[in-house]
Each structure stands twice: as C-alpha cells, then as structure tokens.
Amino acid sequence: MSEHLHLSVALDGAGWHPWAWKDARVRPAALFGADYWIEQVATAERGLLDFVTIEDSFALQTGAAFTHDDRTDHVTGRLDAVELAARIAPETTRIGLVPSTDTLQTEPFHLASALATVDFASRGRAGWRVRAGGARESENFGRRETFELTLDWYRTPEGQAQIARQFDEAVDVIEVVRRLWDSWDDDAVIRDVPTGRFFDRDRVHHVNFESSSFSIAGPSITPRPPQGQVVVTALGHATVPYRLAARGADVLFVTPTSTEDAARIVAEVRELEIEVGRTLPPLRIFADLVVLIDATSAAASTRLERWNELDGAAYVSDAFIVAASASELADLLEEWRDAGIEGYRLRPASAHLDLPAIADQLVPELQRRGIFRHEYEGDTLRGHLGLDRPANRYATATAPRSASTAQNTEN
C-alpha cells in the first residue's frame, strides 16, 4: 500500500444529486459547452487530484431501471466523453483524464486510437473507464439480439449467463485494445533516409486477435501512446465485474457501505486476482462515495434532505452517500484505507459546492494528516498512481536487428 491516498472525482452533469443543477442555477445549455467542464477539471487540478472520470452512455439519463423516466426537470443528455477529455487536455497540465466508453457497441480499433490520441493530446494523462452498456444502449445499433428489459429477467439463469457473456466480451475488448497500444514499439519510427524507411516494420506488429465475437488484424494506426498503456479502470458491484477488472484493468472502483464491507470486497478482489492468474501489477482498489461536504455533518444532512424534498424523491445511489464535514469525511477515508482501500472516486453531489469543497477543504485536511500529496510529483496519470510505464509485450519478441539496420540508425 502506498503511503498516500489516491483521490479522484467522477464528473457527471452538475453533480450527482438531481437537484444540483437547479440549486446552482446552471443554464442547461452550459453543460454542452467546453467551458463548464474545463472549470470543473481546473478545480480538481487545483486540488492535486489523481484524475477525473467523465460519465457517458448511449442512452439518456434516467432514474428508473431499464427505461427512460420521462422527467423533464433532470439533467438530460451528454457529450461524447472521449472528445470532452481531449478538449480539456490542452487546458490542463497535470490531472489525469478518464473518459467512459461502452465496449459492446463500439469498435475496439477506434477505441484504441481514440484513447491513445487523448494520451498524446494530454502528454500522458489518459485513462479509460470501461463500460459494458445495457440493452437501452444497444437498441441504437440494432445489430445484437435484444433482451427482455426487466430486473427479474436479469436475475434468471439466462439473464446471468447473458451478463457473463457481455463481461467476457468486454474483457476481450480490453485485451485487443491493450495489444493495439503495444502494436508499435516506442522506437518504431526511424526515418532512415539511406534505406528510404520511415519506420522499421520489425517494430510494428499485427495483433491478430480473435474472439468468439470479433477479430482484429492490426496494427493500430496510432503509435504507442506516451504512457505505453493508457490506464484502464472499471466500476464493479459484484463478482462478475470484479473478475473483469482482475483480468484487464489497472484500477477498480468498488462501492462498499462500511469498513467491514470494504474489507470483504478487498479480500474478494485479491482472491480473484490470484484465481485469474493476473499478470498486471495488483489492482488499485478505489471506493466510490457520493459526497456532500458542509461545515458540519448536520448542515450536510440537512442539505441532502432539503434537496430530496425539493426533487420529490430520495436520492439513491449504488455508492455510499456521505453527508459530512471535510474532517469527518477524512476520518472515513482513513478508516477504509486501513481496510485495504487505496484510493477514492468521489462523486460530488454538487459540482458547484462539493467539488470546490473537495479541493479546498478535504485535500488540505488530508495534507495535514500527512496522507495526501502537497504537489504533483509526476506529470503522467501512471505517475500519479505509482504505476510504472509497462514494457511492450511485442518489443521483447523482436528479432535482433540486421547489421545494415544497425549501421543505418547510426547515421
């Protein structure tokens, strides 16, 4: 376990509570312009956070399971998260940028290029949050069989088998994307005028990936990204997604509700890492928390209750909701850290109140306790997370250069 906590925030709309946009009097159109997001990420960067994640989906937001909820008073619509990350890249210098994408409807070849491009545009700060999108999203593509859209169906053996198949496919997508990132050696471009070669074809590799649902020849059209491998993250609430993360991700977001729960989840994930024969460095396990930060926990709880009342429904989340002072929240982060949680992905209930509170109250409190950085030490996302730049899986297999090549590269 590293000495310092890792801290990130999940950006979505005006914050995660549905009332947040109204409380902050946000103009709806602002959410579809770059400036709104740049300001949020600048706040997170001021707080020296490891990274921000950007939510995305091929379906509109909904409070109801498996169907659109028809509410017109909630934030509706999102921009493409990968483009948003790229748009933010030149406006920031240190913070990691982690867009979400679906893996079931998208083309893995495009995903690999697009995420590598975010890494080039941000000079090594790109991450990727892998999602396996649901049935409402697949309707837009019309190329897969659709499934009955009820929670009951998903609980049937057939439904569970379907979920397992989808996660297996997501793992395949991660694997081929990782291979495509490695398909160019770091020194593939040689510009060797005497032999007329722009690149050395021994240092650019087909990936020849085949799975039950797709095959990809490669190599990528995009050279190896600055970090070598973009940081892969996933959110999981159960064994099936934990296993996906153990097989392919670098960072796993989990949703414990107590210290004991956190310890149980960490133990399960560590066992799964062994079970799947993980070869990557151990997963960085982050806990997701929805946070409301005020001067006192009473004030924060009152705000939550008032917003629930105004919205007409109690806000529910897959993640634990914490309404607390910065100091109390810091206590919780320390306690769960002792249970094996290495970092947090905080979901600010309000981007306008709680995100600044994370940067300006929580972070100084953690710094006082000696468990958070006082300045960025590296300038890549891997650097923030303490992950080495990985060796290229293909480069080691490259045959020795011919004598003429060696001679030419000296010119």
Partner 1 sequence: MTEKTGTPAKRQVHLAAGVPGVNHYTVWGDPTAGSQIDFDTFEHVAKTAERGFFDYFFLAEGLRVRERNGQLHELDVAGRPDNLTVLAAVAGVTKHIGLVATASAVFNEPYDLARKLASLDHLSNGRAGWNIVVSADAFTGENFRRGGYLPYDERYDRAGEFVDLSRVLWDSWPENALHSAGADFVSRADVGDYRYSGKYFDTHGQFTVPRSPQGHPVLIQAGDSADGRDFAVRTVDVVFSRHSEPEAGRAFKRDISARAVAIGRDPESIKVIPGASVVLGDTEAEARERAREISFAQVTPQTAIALLQQVWGTDLSGYDPDGPLPAVPTTDGDDVIQGIARRHDDRLATAREWFARAEAENLSIRQLVVAATTRHEFIGTASQIAQQLDEAVQSRAADGYVLSGNVVPHGIDEFVDQVVPILQERGVLRTEYAGATLRETLGLGELPVTTSWAERRAS
Q: Does the footprint of partner 1 cover residue 182 (CB under 8 A)?
A: no
CB of 330 to partner 1, least distance (A): 34
According to DSSP H, which parts of 52-107 are helical? Answer: 81-88
| C-alpha–C-alpha distance, residues 98 and 227, integer Å | 14
Q: Is 331 in the site for partner 1 (CB under 8 A)?
A: no
Structure tokens at 343: 């970092």
Identify which range of 79-87, 293-301, 319-327, 329-337 contacts partner 1 by CB under 8 A: 79-87
Q: Say how many residues touch partner 1, by CB under 8 A.
A: 77
Instruction: Specify the stretch interacting with partner 1 by CB under 8 A; choose among 149-157, 186-194, 329-337, 387-395.
Output: 186-194
If one counts every other C-beta atom within 10 angstroms of the C-beta of residue 50, the result is: 30
Tell me if 196 contacts partner 1 by CB under 8 A. yes
Give the residue ranges of DSSP H helices in 9-124.
20-23, 34-46, 81-88, 108-121
Q: Which of residues 212-231 bind partner 1 (CB under 8 A)?
A: 213-219, 221-223
- CB nearer to partner 1: pick between 210 and 271: 210
Q: In whole angstroms, what is the distance from residue 358 CA to residue 360 CA?
A: 6
- The pair of structure tokens assigned to 254 is 């989990």
Does residue 313 belong to the site contacting partner 1 (CB under 8 A)?
Answer: no
What gap in Å lies between CA 185 and CA 352, rounded to an integer? 43
> What is the three-state SS of 126-169?
EEEEEECCCHHHHCCCCCCCCCCCCHHHHHCHHHHHHHHHHHHH
153 scored as a contact of partner 1 (CB under 8 A): no
User: Is 72 an interacting residue with respect to partner 1 (CB under 8 A)?
Assistant: yes
Stretch that binds partner 1, among 199-207, 282-290, 296-304, 341-349 (CB under 8 A): 199-207
Q: Considering beta carbons, is residue 21 or 344 the nearer one to partner 1?
A: 21
Residue from 83, 331, 360, 379 that binds partner 1 (CB under 8 A)? 83
Measuring CA to CA, which residue among 210, 215, 275 is closest to residue 240? 275
Integer Cα distance of 95 and 9 in angstroms: 11
Cα angle value 23/351/2 (rounded, 5°)? 150
* Residue 252 phi, psi (nearest 5): -120, 130
Measured from the CB atom, is 142 or 370 closer to partner 1? Answer: 142
State yes or no: residue 128 binds partner 1 (CB under 8 A). Answer: no
Q: Which of 54, 89, 262, 272 binds partner 1 (CB under 8 A)?
A: 89
Smallest gap from residue 131 Cβ to partner 1 (A): 14
Beta carbon of residue 351, minimum distance to partner 1 (angstroms, whole number): 15
Q: Which of 28, 281, 282, 378 binds partner 1 (CB under 8 A)?
A: 28
Provide, rounded to whole angstroms, the least separation between the CB of residue 25 and partner 1: 9
With binding defined as CB under 8 A, does residue 139 bind partner 1? yes
